[in-house]
Amino acid sequence: MQESYQIRPLAGAEIQTAVDWAAREGWNPGHRDAACFASADPQGFWGGFLDGQMVACISVVNYGEVFSFLGFYIVAPEHRGQGYGYALWQQALEHAGGRVVGLDGVVDQQGNYRRSGFELAYRNIRFGGVPGDRPAAPEGFDLSPLWAPTAELEALDARAFPAPRTAFWQQWLGAAGHRSFAAYNDGKLAGFGTLRLCGSGCKIGPLVAVSRPAAEAVLARLLQELPAGQEVFLDVPEPHAAAVDLARSLGLEPVFETARMYRGPAPLLDTDLIYGVTSFELG
């Protein structure tokens, strides 16, 4: 590793470069992901530079005082195996301090992550494809667009995500190309979700609901926004059998998987609420 190697937080267009690298790796980020992700923690994106050129990137995004999520860990192919990535990994993780840190890593890297103190919690499965017959929304739900976070949304989100993320929600729900809807049953929030444009097709995430019918109601409304013949991707916690079955009921097939791992005690989440993960990069 060259002595000229420098590590520092990323800013502005540099964060977009990290997202572009993720697209190059086949991770298929959304068109507006850079701005949304940066809003969660503007100091959470880091890069390693040689002679002013970025050769490695990573994100360690802090949510409040107790939780952080790691993603975008990429080293330019021509600079791999030289220690640049690991040096960046170590310094960026200092940004998390004593927080519990989560990540969604490729399964074959579990051993490396375990050596850094991460333990497997469960797998997430990415289902993808062109949906077959689109489901009709179950009766009993009222569907409304979501443009900004509400107290009800954040209360339900707190059961499925380890920390408050108001700044993220404000950016996410208002981003161009995002379509977000909430389902209400007897006037109470029963579920919510977002469909967003990606480099290839669209992703649905998050998709959070108190029951499968509520998830189906939100999903049916989101799929109305999907152009005919367009692929859609849904990232599902493998232990949640109803979510896996819902993805398969659309005719989607597994195309990718990750290992959800934590450094520190795994958060106590109600994974049965999670029908679609927000993103593998941000949790």
CATH topology of domain 127-276: Aminopeptidase (3.40.630)
Q: Which residues pair with 128 in a beta bridge?
A: 233, 253
What pLDDT digit, counting tens, does each position of 183-212 carry?
A: 999 999 999 999 999 999 999 999 999 999
Contacts of residue 22, Cβ cutoff 8 Å, sequence gap at least 6: 29, 72, 74, 281
CATH topology of domain 6-102: Aminopeptidase (3.40.630)
pLDDT for 141: 96
Q: What is the largest CA-CA distance in the chain?
A: 64
Amino acid identity of 272? D
User: How far is residue 241's CA from residue 222's CA, in Å, rounded to a whole number?
Assistant: 21
User: How far is residue 142's CA from residue 119's CA, in Å, rounded to a whole number?
Assistant: 40
User: How far is residue 96's CA from residue 61's CA, in Å, rounded to a whole number?
Assistant: 8
User: How far is residue 135's CA from residue 213's CA, in Å, rounded to a whole number?
Assistant: 11
255 φ, ψ to 5°? -125, -10
DSSP 226: S
Closest Cα to residue 223, out of 132, 147, 158?
132
Q: Delimit the domains of the chain by residue range.
A: 6-102, 127-276
Same CATH topology for 6-102 and 127-276: the answer is yes
Residues of the chain with pLDDT under 50: none
- Cβ atoms of 48 and 56 closer than 8 Å: yes
Closest Cα to residue 104, out of 72, 131, 79, 144?
72
The pTM (predicted TM-score) of the whole model is 0.94
189 token code pair: 């929030």
Q: Which residues pair with 257 in a beta bridge?
A: 125
pLDDT for 1: 67
Contacts of residue 121, Cβ cutoff 8 Å, sequence gap at least 6: 260, 261, 262, 266
pLDDT for 163: 93
